[in-house]
Amino acid sequence: MAVQYRIEGTTLPVLTVTLQPGERVYSSSGGMSWMTQHVEMETNTGGGLGKMFKRALSGESLFIVDYFVNGGTGEVAFAAEFPGKIVDLNLAPGNQIIVQKDAFLCAEKSVDMDMHFRKRLGAGLFGGEGFILQKLTGPGLAFVNFDGEIVERTLAPGETLRVDTGHVAMFEPAVDFDIQMVRGFKNILLGGEGLFLATLRGPGKVWLQTMPMSKLAAKIAQFMPQVGGKGQSGGVNVSLFGGDN
């Protein structure tokens, strides 16, 4: 029987897992937000040095932390680190899902988390999200956290979807992932989408995120005060608060 859980909140959700004796969930170190008094913690390598190295490459911490109770009932919570959605994945034995790195929140102990190399070198060098993704293998419940809202698309065999690379959140292993250069000289120079787009080809299901944190950070940076320049106030550009005055 799978562990009991609830996902609460909207823009900044939190996952709360209810643990009974014999049940365990794990997360990257530092992932827990709060827990009740009966919950115990056990920090470990999660499979030895090889697993530690793979987790580091896929954007996770070197160590993992198991959460369990020896008696009674306990709750452990994992809050989102950025505005977005927490997605629950109920993986059957041997079922796999490929997710962007840093998306992993927590999972039952039966779920294996490993790194996943993109098949094509071009996808790794120019994909915008790094060469390495995360692969989750069942059986069991796993939880991932994505940026903004989530749009699900089911691609028919041969159906292709071209996506700005930062919007690719998760996809089934059957989906072929590649990177293609944007066509047209004017599109490259003036299109504002960069040189490359991700190509997702079915069959299979894909999950797209509406607000990649990289784009949000770039947008916020436009409104941050600048040192030097016009409108200085103690060395800080006051244009953040409106015009040059």
Q: Identify whether 100 is part of a domain.
A: yes
Average pLDDT over residues 86-111: 94
Q: Identify whether 244 is part of a domain.
A: no
Copy the structure tokens of residue 193: 């989408």
Q: Identify whether 113 is part of a domain.
A: yes
Question: What is the pLDDT confidence band of residue 88, given thresholds at 50, 70 and 90?
Answer: very high
Q: Which residues neighbour 49 within 8 Å (Cβ) at sequence distance 6 or greater?
A: none
Sheet strand arrangement including 132-137: 112-117, 132-137, 96-99, 168-171, 204-209, 150-155
Q: Identify whether 130 is part of a domain.
A: yes
pLDDT above 60 (res 127): no
Which pLDDT does position 52 carry in this prediction? 63
Q: Identify whether 27 is part of a domain.
A: yes
Split into its structural domains, the chain has a count of: 1
Question: Would you say the pTM of this structure is higher than 0.85?
Answer: no
Which pLDDT does position 244 carry in this prediction? 46
> Hey, CA dihedral for 146, 147, 149, 154, is it positive or negative?
negative
pLDDT tens-digit profile of 179-218?
Answer: 776 654 444 444 444 467 888 999 999 999 998 776 777 7
Q: Identify whether 230 is part of a domain.
A: no
> Hey, CA dihedral for 206, 207, 210, 215, is it positive or negative?
negative
Q: Is 164 helix (H, G, I), strand (E, B) or coil?
A: coil
Residue range(s) defining the domain that contains residue 108: 4-222
Q: Identify whether 66 is part of a domain.
A: yes
Read off the CATH number of the domain in which 11 is found: 3.60.160.10
Which of these, 116, 87, 83, lies nearest to 104 by C-alpha position? 87
Sheet strand arrangement including 160-163: 160-163, 196-201, 176-181
Q: Identify whether 38 is part of a domain.
A: yes
pLDDT tens-digit profile of 40-58?
Answer: 999 988 766 666 666 566 5
